Structure 1
């Protein structure tokens, strides 16, 4: 007999049937590649570290494959789905395949990038677990980490190249803005590949898992100020920081002054710096007056 606190997960036949019932064809625009392998769902849930204490935020639940797995483990799941038809169908699927768990589900029809902390104030999420559309994965993760300080940990499935960029460390070929900004919020790690064959339709890219564990902000300087330094540093990757930060700092000379005050060689490039280095540059800009502004120079 099936445990009442577990769900009957979706297999390939069930995923296709649900799609046929909806009369839908997955669209590339919305990044709709649905997981149809129960073992992959179990692996994601286990790797995510979700427990009965967690309120999970799931973005893009689609037909409900991962939702069903999460409901069996988490205290509750808030599923955010931008597709109206899928959002309406998800509660029915859960009621059919996990009737004892349906009260744990809340479905929100919305774009994840429009979510605000007040929207989920009555059920603050503690974990993010999602199969994210490849074209919006980084913006979604960064937005949710910024907007929901209650998110303590999570696991996302994204395009393999995106996973590499999110978890990259300074000095590596894939290190850049996504890596450094993600490091402001959390310790980010690569958790292995996901084969193409577990999706329907089969994507033409490889996928990977990325986990994160929230850490304390590395500075009292406002995040936006640090991110402006980051954006400027990587906007012209081939240039030295003295040159790349000249517009942000007001001049190349002031950029050099701030870099030296932060203990960063002016000849360095953005990909060599950790988020802590960018923090020190922002702190130097806060603490060292801009002589050109005080003198009225242009």
Structure 2
């Protein structure tokens, strides 16, 4: 099927297979072809690129990605969509759909294998709002050889993640591996069903390895944001906390969001 994103084609497919958007999986189907083409243009993919798409839905974005990418590997958790995707994407030889929860995928092994055939591997995803952070963390901590992540998230989340004055465990994780930018705003009116808020496309360029020890520092450091870094890390470093902070040149009365990524990377040396 061509131009899956056209509203008439979307309605036809959903009606034919009696599919309704799942609230459980946070599904909202894109029904504007121009918007999808703009999203694809932000990714700068080419035939030397393999795209990993998370949550293809009925295949609207997958179709447009396939016209530019060498291969599109889709992970879909909703097995109700099997028949729909067989009809909508069956004719596209460079699209592969795997029915698996993306959070259970060994991403490093998958990307290692894809890198044998493709110069570049990137992720493109329309992320469910409720699981945005979990998926981004899963990708970043996988330490796979991805070049970039292009994710549609809630606009408010995108604004926060790209605000240099906003800090959270996730923003520090992102900063430790690369850089983040906001590529475009996506109106809530181009979805069916329409969500309550607008979305945005964020781009994360990946150019450094992730230090897995950061997990053991960032989580306790942000246990209670209003407490000082000293109080939050006492449970981790015990009686050595003060000495460790001094050695890292970190003032013990600072709040966790006042530190820099370099500070947290220094702290990992004492685990």
SS in structure 1 opposite 2:136?
helix
Structure 2 unpaired stretches of 5+ = none
Per-residue CA distance 1:174-197 (angstroms, 9 max, x = gap): x21121122222211122321100
Q: Structure 1, residues 113-155: CA drift from partner, whole Å, max 9, x if none?
A: 0001345654357100010111111211221233361211121
| Pair 1:202-2:194 in alignment | yes
TM-score by length of 2: 0.91
Decide whether the 8 Å contact of 2:141 with 2:212 is kept in 1: no
2:96 matched to 1:106?
yes
Native 8 Å contact 2:26 2:129 kept in 1: yes
Report the CA distance between 1:205 and its aligned residue: 2.2
Q: Do residues 235 (structure 1) and 227 (structure 2) align?
A: no
1:255 aligns with 2:241: yes
3-state SS in 2 of match to 1:126: strand
Q: Is the 8 A contact 1:91 1:105 kept in 2?
A: no
From 273, 278, 284, give the equivalent of 2:259: 273
Look up the match of 1:292. Answer: none
Mapping 1:52-201, distance limit 5 Å? 52-95=47-90, 99=91, 102-116=92-106, 117-118=108-109, 122-124=113-115, 126-147=121-142, 149-169=144-164, 171-172=165-166, 175-201=167-193
Deviates more, 1:201-210 or 1:146-155: 146-155
Question: For 1:12 and 1:201, how far apart are their aligned partners in 2?
Answer: 11
Tell me how far apart the structure 2 counterparts of residues 119 and 53 of structure 1 sit (CA, whole Å): 17
Q: Which has the larger radius of gyration?
A: 1
How far 1:238 moved relative to its partner? 0.6
Cα distance between partner residues in 2 of 1:279 and 1:121: 26
**Match for residue 293 of structure 1?**
none
Aligned residues: 266
Instruction: Please give the TM-score of this superposition, normalised by the length of structure 1.
Output: 0.83
Are 1:9 and 1:69, in contact at CA under 8 Å, matched by a contact in 2?
A: no
Report the CA distance shift for 1:129/1:103 in structure 2 as closer, same or farther (over 3 A): same
* Whole-Å separation in 2 of the counterparts to 1:103 and 1:203: 32
Structure-2 residue corresponding to 1:212: 204
